[in-house]
């Protein structure tokens, strides 16, 4: 089978697509693999927050259109950018082994969240990261930051920010781990659902292709991804909501932790649940229910209302 991979054109997206392509080329059923680089609206519009232009789903829409039109067979994504509810006709056929889930502070050598000057300007357009940064350091100023990894690093080097926060996995994949001045623990900053996971999307009606892609599935990552995305889905959280989720496996046992917070860090709810890994999705749903019973819905509604008024 010949397989064409739709991908964004950023260095990180191309790395991820090549990573999947290399794995596919090892399969005897695959005769050729080609990349189809595309520009998405999320890449083009950098002067407004993702919340205001439609969310992180904008990074995958054009890739899905390419599959629908027959110009590509699969698409490769950072799973943290994929909405919890897949559009009709599409599925995540496989997820690759998870890389580093952590968030990283990038700044001058040996800079940590504790050593930043009072009122330091920290770049991040993630409400989840903003909330947890403010919980750690209420005095710092969170400033919007968009663009690919190299663009963001250039803005830091230009002095636009005192530090920025990026996913450690992205930096490591691009060989830029030397820029990391502090890696946050899960206690300090819970990641986004499925952060560090590369997923492969295809059309649901292509059973033959799905069977091939399933051979790339990493079972442990599939379970933690299932639990974390179930949390976001049950909370009806979008990719840019201030929601964090992280699941860990210990043999056949799973522990999941989730957090919902106001972007300014003034209110947060954090809960943990444990149970059999085989019930990953149910565990995620149950944890989301606990969060909702504790008031998570009010926090998410307040965040959405504030975002809507800022749009007007």
- Residue matched to tokens 């963001």: 152
Q: Which 3-state string (H, E, C) describes the chain?
A: CEEEEEEECCHHHHHHHHHHHHHHHCCCCCCEEEEEEECCHHHHCCCCCHHHHCCHHHHCHHHHHHHHCCCCCEEEEEHHHCCCCCCCCEEEEEECCCCCCCEEEECCCCCCCCCCCCCCEEECCCHHHHHHHHHHCCCCEEECCCCCHHHHHHHHHCCCCCEEEEEHHHHHHCCCHHHEEEECCCCCCCCCCCCCCEEEEEECCCHHHHHHHHHHCCHHHHHHHHHHHHHHHHCCCCCCCCEEEEEEEECCEEEEEEEEECCCCCCEEEEEEEEEHHHHHHHHHHHHHHHHHCCHHHHHHHHHHHHHHHHC
Identify the pLDDT of residue 241. Answer: 84
The better pLDDT of the pair 299, 305 is held by 299
Whether residue 41 is predicted with pLDDT greater than 80 in this model: the reply is no
The per-residue pLDDT for 51 is 52
Of the candidate ranges 91-105, 163-177, 215-229, 297-311, the one whose mean pLDDT is the lowest: 297-311
pLDDT at 121 over 90: yes
pLDDT at res. 223: 98
Per the model's pLDDT, the better-predicted residue between 236 and 183 turns out to be 183
Assigned token pair, 212: 């091939």
Predicted local confidence at residue 307, as pLDDT? 62
The overall average pLDDT reported for the chain is: 91
| Lowest-pLDDT range of 49-53, 69-73, 239-243 | 49-53
What is the CATH topology of the domain spanning 103-183? D-Maltodextrin-Binding Protein; domain 2 (3.40.190)
- Least confident among 77-81, 124-128, 237-241: 237-241
State the sign of the Cα–Cα–Cα–Cα dihedral 220, 178, 40, 158. positive
pLDDT of residue 286: 98
CA atoms of 122 and 133, how far apart (whole Å): 9
Percent of the chain's residues with pLDDT above 90: 84
What is the residue extent of each domain of the chain? 1-98+197-217, 103-183, 219-312
* Interatomic CA distance for residues 29 and 26, integer angstroms: 9
- The CATH homologous superfamily of the domain defined by 1-98+197-217: Periplasmic binding protein-like II (3.40.190.10)
- What pLDDT band is residue 53 in, cutting at 50, 70 and 90? very low
pLDDT digits (tens, 9 = 90+) for 180-197: 999 999 999 999 999 999
Cα separations in angstroms, 245 against 189, 214, 297:
10, 25, 16
Residues 43, 73, 81, 162: which is the catalytic one? 81
Which tops the pLDDT comparison, 47 or 220? 220
**Residue 250 is among the residues annotated as catalytic for this protein:** no
Is 219-312 a CATH 3.30.160.40 domain? yes
Judged against a pLDDT cut of 90, whether residue 310 lies above it is answered with no
Matching fold, domains 1-98+197-217 and 219-312: no
Q: What is the pLDDT of residue 69?
A: 95
Q: What is the pLDDT of residue 311?
A: 25
Q: What is the mean pLDDT of residues 135-162?
A: 94
The model's pTM is 0.89
pLDDT confidence of residue 280: 97
Lowest mean pLDDT, pick from 96-100, 106-110, 236-240, 251-255: 236-240
Q: How confident is the model at residue 50 (pLDDT cuts 50, 70, 90)?
A: very low
CB 77 within 8 A of CB 197: no
């Amino acid at each position: 089978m010949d397989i064409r991979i739709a991908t964004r054109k950023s260095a990180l997206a191309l790395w991820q697509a090549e990573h999947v392509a290399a794995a596919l080329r090892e399969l005897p059923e695959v005769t050729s693999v080609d990349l189809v680089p595309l520009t998405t609206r999320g890449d083009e519009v950098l002067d407004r927050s993702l919340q205001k232009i439609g969310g992180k789903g904008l990074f995958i829409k054009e890739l899905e259109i390419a599959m629908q039109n027959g110009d590509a067979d699969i698409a490769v994504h950072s799973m943290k950018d994929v909405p919890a509810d897949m559009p009709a006709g599409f599925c995540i056929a496989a997820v690759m082994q998870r890389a580093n889930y952590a968030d990283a502070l990038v700044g001058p050598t040996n800079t940590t969240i504790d050593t930043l000057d009072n009122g330091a300007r920290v770049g991040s357009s993630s409400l989840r990261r903003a909330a947890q940064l403010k919980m750690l350091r209420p005095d710092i100023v969170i400033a919007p930051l968009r663009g690919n990894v190299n663009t963001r690093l250039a803005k830091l080097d230009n002095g636009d920010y005192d530090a920025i926060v990026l996913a450690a996995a992205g930096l490591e994949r691009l060989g830029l781990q030397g820029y990391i001045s502090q890696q946050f623990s899960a206690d300090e900053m819970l990641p986004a659902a499925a952060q560090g996971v590369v997923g492969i999307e295809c059309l649901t009606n292509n059973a033959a292709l799905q069977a091939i892609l399933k051979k790339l599935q990493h079972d442990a990552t599939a379970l933690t991804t299932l639990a974390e995305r179930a949390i976001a889905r049950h909370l009806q959280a979008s990719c840019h909501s201030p929601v964090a989720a992280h699941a860990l496996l210990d043999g056949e046992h799973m522990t999941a932790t989730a957090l919902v917070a106001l972007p300014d860090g003034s209110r947060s709810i954090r809960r943990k649940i444990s149970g059999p890994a085989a019930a990953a999705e149910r565990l995620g749903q149950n944890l989301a229910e606990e969060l909702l019973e504790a008031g998570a819905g009010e926090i998410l509604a307040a965040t959405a209302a504030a975002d809507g008024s800022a749009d007007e």
